[in-house]
Amino acid sequence: MALFGRRNVLLVLLVAAVLAPQFVNTYHLFVANLILVYVLLSIGLNILVGYAGQLAFANAAMFGIGAYGTGLLQVHFGWPFWLAFPTGAVIATSVGLAISLPALRLSGLYLALSSLAFAQFTQWVFLHWESVTFGAGGFKTPTVSFAPLPVSKPIGLYYLSLILAVALFLLAQNLVRSRLGRAFVAVRDGEVAAQSLGIDLLRYKALAFGISGFYAGIAGGIYSAMLNFVSPEGYDLFQMVLHKAMIVVGGLGSIAGSVLGAGAIVGLLEALREVKGIQEIAFGAILVIFILFMPGGLIAFLKTRVPGWEEPLHRRGRGDAPTVSTTPATKVVRP
Amino acid sequence: MLLLSYLLLSGVTTGALYALVALGIVVVNKATGVINFAHGELFMFSGFVAWTLHVQMGVMYPVALPLAVAAGFLLGALTDRIAFRPLIKADVISLVLATVGIAFVLRGLARVIWGGKGDYLSFPPITSPEPVMIGEIMVIPQQLAVLAGAIVVMLAFAAFFRLTRAGKMMQATADNSKAATLVGIRTARIYTLSFGTGAAIAAAAAVLMAPLTLLYPDMGFSFFIKGFAAAVLGGLTSLPGAVLGGLIIGVIEALAGGYIHSSFIEVSAFVVIMLVLVVRPTGLLGAGRLRRV
């Protein structure tokens, strides 16, 4: 394994993340926690878009459903965070599974637009179902307590996010290497071909949507606890473009790339916090520039320039495994 | 009766504007097979250009309108050059994401130039805003002017598409781009022309709409969704279908807003999109053949 290979760099990042709370101030801890939330979102979305090839725009809505689910269960029913949080994630997962049903009939542009309409519908529900969601003003959630453990809320939440992010990162890594992940790639590269190989499209598309809904729901639950506040604005179209920018900058069809993309985008988001006006311009332009000039994202650059970044499916020299492309194959889809 | 006639007229008026937005979406989709996700932002941006010309620089409304339409055409052609032509061989995901990127750049630019979140610019009315009673029916001259303008734009576009050489080349490319290339049509130029024309129609809609409502940077997306709902309802490749779809969406919205609750105005379009795509993906006037969606 090369010195600056994927595993070593990720391990160093992990060690840095574990030790970080000892050295940084509250604001930097908040940013680090934000990165972990976005890592979860980015991995979930990349499984859906980058691996399964389903271009859906409902990720920000799933994120919102996770946050609202976690927050509202605590506020309305007085549930403890430890119960509301997983339930919120389960709600997001089931909504993800539910919106996958039209996805069986729709693909490409139609899926993109119907999921965009669904995301706006979710926003509308957050805004107008005032008796439950408290409308445009949002609502405060109770502060999470890590009572038996001797840690403050920001640090406890940070380690909770870190544990979840690492666990779900490893889960995703294994998942995309498994039969399931290869089925996703097959669906992406050719639905008819995949079907003729005995892959049940309904089942695998639904699974991809469910998995991305689960990741977004977990991220939403943590995010609501981080801010102690939930409002519709946090889950709008701008979030959508942030999520898309993360997976494009990191690299479509790469779990490690999702982590890099999330880090890069959150870093930029914080750097541009002073000049809010140009955030939309910056992230829109990043999306266009990466698609035009670096279609494989950061991970493609690392894979070609730095030894040790090839992902498992690309590993050469074994002779027994055929090389499977994990980046979308270019294909002519139009006249 | 008074309420119903008022709702129907205002529904038809906004519906005519949705129809124009939908026409732009259909023109681009027919020629290139893709949907320009920046379409709503092109609409919004052209509206602001008209505002700057008319309100800030004092250009007369009948002059500001064609200038804004020209600006819309240029923006549309630019979208083609940035996000469609270089990606013509890439997969559809890259293409959609690139147009989404452009949409956000335009939206951010509009915010920087014309005002931030929650800032609304008003456009002076072109006719008297006082309602007029014709028998039992209340008519607002402003709405009639907008409706007439929308009909003129539709007729002008139909004439361009049917009668001019450029329009016929667009039809040929839409029918069969390979055959069009064979007979010497430069299809790449036709794609640029289609993106430009689509955006120009949207620009006309924006300038017609501006005196009726207010201008704000976030309006592009909501008009895009409504225009898309109209286009999908009409079948996505049918120009008369887009007009019909636009009118239906406009009337549904007005009735839902008048008889149920004003918040239902926003949601009707989403419901229509989801229902049509799941139940009848070919729309009302779409081709009879089974189409992969």
Q: Is residue A181 part of a domain?
A: yes
What sign does the dihedral A39-A43-A49-A54 (CA atoms) show? negative
Tell whether A331 is within 8 A of chain B (Cβ).
yes
Residue A269 belongs to some domain of the structure? no
Q: In which band, very low, low, confident or very high, does the pLDDT at B116 lie, cut at 50, 70 and 90?
A: low
Task: Write out the two tokens for A134.
Answer: 């408290």
Is A255 contained in some domain? no
Q: Which among B16, B17, B13, B31 is positioned nearest to B198, based on CA atoms?
A: B31
Which of A109, A277, A285 has its CB closest to that of B96? A109
Interchain CB distance below 8 Å, B97 and A287:
yes
Reading the block at residue A172, the tokens are: 């995703």
* Cα distances (Å, whole numbers) of residue B113 to A277, B43, B65, B101, B221: 10, 16, 20, 18, 18
Provide, as residue numbers in chain A, all residues whose Cβ is less than 8 Å from the Cβ of B97.
244, 248, 287, 291
Chain A touched by B102 (CB under 8 Å): yes
pLDDT at B6: 81
The verdict on residue A118 lying in a domain is: yes
Q: Which band of pLDDT confidence, cut at 50, 70 and 90, is reported for residue A317?
A: very low
Interface of B with A in 222-241 (CB under 8 A): 225, 228-229, 232
A80, pLDDT greater than 70:
yes
- DSSP per-residue letters across A150-161: S--HHHHHHHHH
Query: How does DSSP classify residue B215?
Result: E
Residue B248 sits at the chain A interface (C-beta within 8 Å): no
Residues 53-92 of A with CB under 8 A from B: 53, 55
CB of B269 within 8 Å of a chain A CB? The answer is yes
What is the residue-averaged pLDDT of chain B? 85
Q: How far is CA A281 from CA A85, B108, B221, B235, in A?
A: 34, 5, 16, 33
Which member of B37, B91, B267 has the closest CB to residue A333? Answer: B91
Rounded to 10 degrees, the C-alpha dihedral B120/B125/B128/B129 comes to -20
Q: What is the DSSP string of A41-56?
A: HHHHHHIIIIIS----
Which has more confidence, A36 or A6?
Answer: A36
Answer yes or no: do B270 and A279 touch at CB < 8 A: no
| Residue B214 in contact with partner chain A when CB distance is under 8 A | no
Count of the separate structural domains present in chain A: 1
- The answer on pLDDT for A116 being more than 70 is yes
Task: Tell me the nearest-neighbour CA distance from A59 into chain B, angstroms.
Answer: 14
Residues of B in contact with A282 (CB under 8 A): 108
Q: Which two tokens stand for residue A335?
A: 């006249």
CA A296 to chain centre: 18
Least confident of A19-28, A189-198, B130-139, B226-235: B130-139
Asked if residue A266 belongs to a domain, the reply is no
- pLDDT tens-digit readout, B82-114: 888 888 888 888 888 999 999 999 999 998 888
Stretch among A33-37, A255-259, B90-94, B196-200 having the lowest mean pLDDT: B90-94
Is the Cβ of A295 closer than 8 Å to some Cβ of chain B?
Answer: yes
* DSSP secondary structure of B221-235: HHHHHHHHHHHHHHT
Enter the pTM of the model: 0.86
| CB A175 within 8 Å of CB A240 | no
Choose, out of B28, B34, B89, B93, the residue to mutate when testing the contact with A (most A CBs < 10 Å): B93
B135: left (phi over 0), alpha (psi -120 to 50) or beta: left
ipTM: 0.84
* All structural domains of chain B with their residue ranges: 24-220
> In this structure, which amino acid lies at residue A314?
H
Q: Is A292 on the interface with B (CB under 8 A)?
A: yes
Q: Does residue A216 fall inside a structural domain?
A: yes
What's the CA gap between A288 and A282, in Å, rounded?
10
In a domain, A258, yes or no: no
| Domain span including residue A125 | 26-235
